Amino acid sequence: MFTVQRALGVTLVAASLTLAPVVGTTPQAAAEPTVNRFQIPLVWSTGLFTGCGWILDLCASTPTAIAGEQPGTVTFPVISPNSEATYWMHWRNLTTGAAGVLTVPYNESVSVFTGAGPVTASMTTGQEIIAGTGVFWVP
């Protein structure tokens, strides 16, 4: 017996078999590198009356990460070309669970393979009050 549900099912199966090869062979466009500004800035104190602000002499900067230069790779760019100091970047891929900590010189860019997916990263200096933290997509 031929019913409306059976006709609809046959139509959907035929359409999926027809469209699957067409959709599957479409070339993927290469993603442009994306500069991701962290959602939470790095905040530190320089001491009384020696720093950036009026209240508690708190300083803040927004770390960035570049994704999409290479598949699954994140680059942390140069922060200060004339500095010899280092900072730590703690990262985790939320899809795979892969994680690590990088020691990054302020005057060098460093790349790390995180894998594709959502990645979180936090910048610490050892003197921060709030770690600079961001979540971004890595193609």
Residue 125 forms part of a structural domain: yes
Measured in degrees and rounded to the nearest 5, phi and psi for residue 119 equal -125, 140
Residue 12 forms part of a structural domain: no
CATH of the domain at 73: 2.60.40.3080
- Choose among 66, 64, 117: nearest CA to 93: 117
pTM of the model: 0.74
Which structural domain, as residue segments, surrounds residue 128? 30-138
Identify the band that residue 104 occupies on the pLDDT scale cut at 50, 70 and 90.
very high
Helix (H, G, I), strand (E, B) or coil at 65: strand
Q: Is 46 left (phi over 0), alpha (psi -120 to 50) or beta?
A: alpha
More confidently predicted of 23 and 78 = 78
Residue 39 forms part of a structural domain: yes
Number of domains in the chain: 1
pLDDT in tens, 60-74: 999 999 999 999 999
- What pLDDT does 55 receive? 65
